[in-house]
Amino acid sequence: MGSFKKVPVVATLAACAIGIAACGSSSSSTTSSGSASAGSSTAASAGTGSGTKSPGVHTIGVLPSTATSENLAVWIAQLKATLQPLGWTVDECDGAGNVTTMENCMESFVTHKVSAIVTMALGGPEIPVGLKQAAAANIPVMAEGTSVTPGYEKDFTGGIYADNIVQMGQATAAYIAAHLKSQPVVGEEITQNYGGQGYVNGVIAGLKSDGLKYTDLRDTNLANIVPSMTQNAQAIVQKNTGPVTFLDFSDFGPSLFEPVFAKANRKNITLITRYDDPTTVKLMQAGDNILVQVSQEWKHIFDMTSAMLAHFNNGTPFPPYTQTVNQPGATVMSLKQFPAGSTVAYPFNPALKAQLAEWAKTYKLQPSTLSAP
């Protein structure tokens, strides 16, 4: 995967264009990675508490594989809203879907001596030099959001706080076995990319355990991903004329697939995609038959922040991979299963308020002024 220099970026191509991790899970509804809206008075009071210990002064470098990703925009906004009451600064550097740029970001973080580096939608193979530089400078590097490329876990010296990609696929398969067993399963895979293929592999294994399988599964060309995904969808629709469950390894598939389904006048296709991104939710609100595979991904942000607080203030070692890679609340949802009035499956701000109240027992926190999806 390290041989190519640049890949096309569409929605969350972070997950699937550079072969890494961002095809994991999140609860999302935002349009900007660089900002979060002002919080309500409830949110503003959530950061105060009786704690006496300072969280310290820290700058956290954040490296998303691409800032154009809707999904990563959500994670970044949530991370900023989490760190702001601690008084910590976020230094964000856009990987721009380019491995050279990603390495430059890592070098910049090391040069500026940030306290820690958080990567999003990177599996490790894209930044080997940066990982070594950070280790030499004793700067912990942590992966947030989704599990990394197997074999690279040890390179993330600050830990991995993420949904397990394969097990997320298994959770999707379990939903299909429970609710859509009568429909053939079709879809696409991306064998050149762990971030997408790991999920598909989990689906395959999960279906097999329930005596099911894909009846039509077509590989996607990573180097020409958008046309390839679209052409595969057209071919699958033409061949499979009855009711089917169509699985998407990404979160940007709905924008590509739904026009194909509409042109073929196919209302008997159930699309399962990853993440409740705003674009996807709008399609769901418009009546498209879309289900989303989600988890309480923000729990990983809280776990990661707790680990940093303990490490910076008490010298506590970062937790091992096995303790922080899981999939809290992993399931498949329809829009009607979202909380009433919500455009996300698992609202973030109430969870943040509860987490800040817990930290405030120990640390002096600033009033929270940011909210996030």
Identify the CATH homologous superfamily for domain 166-294: Response regulator (3.40.50.2300)
Quick one: residue 76, left, alpha or beta (phi over 0 = left, psi -120 to 50 = alpha)?
A: alpha
Spatial distance between the Cα atoms of 193 and 149, rounded to a whole number of angstroms = 10
Res 195: pLDDT: 86
Work out the average pLDDT over 32-59. 57
CA-atom Rg of the chain in angstroms: 20
pLDDT at 325 over 90: yes
Work out the average pLDDT over 9-38. 36
Q: Model-level pTM?
A: 0.86
Confidence of residue 48 (pLDDT cuts 50, 70, 90): low
Element of type H or E holding 280:
helix 278-285
Work out the average pLDDT over 47-59. 81
Token pair 């721009």 in the structure block, residue: 96
Report the percentage of the chain scoring pLDDT > 90. Answer: 80
For residue 270, report the phi and psi dihedrals to the nearest 5 degrees: -100, 115
Query: In CATH terms, are 13-162+296-331+345-359 and 166-294 the same topology?
Result: yes
pLDDT at 108 over 50: yes
Spatial distance between the Cα atoms of 293 and 206, rounded to a whole number of angstroms = 15
Element of type H or E holding 129:
helix 128-136
Who contacts 37 (Cβ-Cβ below 8 Å, separation ≥6)?
370, 371
pLDDT at 9 over 60: no
Per the prediction, the chain carries an average pLDDT of: 88
More confident residue, 31 or 65: 65
pLDDT at 123 over 80: yes
Res 49: pLDDT: 53
Residue of 81, 139, 57 whose CA lies nearest to 347: 81
Sign, CA torsion 236/241/242/243: positive
Instruction: Count CA within 13 A, CB hemisphere, residue 303.
Output: 25
Tokens matching residue 39: 């919080």
Domain limits, the chain: 13-162+296-331+345-359, 166-294
Contact 68, 29 (CB under 8 A): no
Instruction: Count CA within 13 A, CB hemisphere, residue 146.
Output: 36
Res 50: pLDDT: 66
Contact 163, 215 (CB under 8 A): no
Residue of 103, 100, 138 whose CA lies nearest to 119: 103
Q: Domain spanning 13-162+296-331+345-359: which CATH class is it, in words?
A: alpha beta
* Number of Cβ atoms within 10 Å of the Cβ of 178: 10
Res 45: pLDDT: 43
pLDDT at 357 over 90: yes
Res 40: pLDDT: 35
pLDDT at 244 over 50: yes
pLDDT at 246 over 80: yes
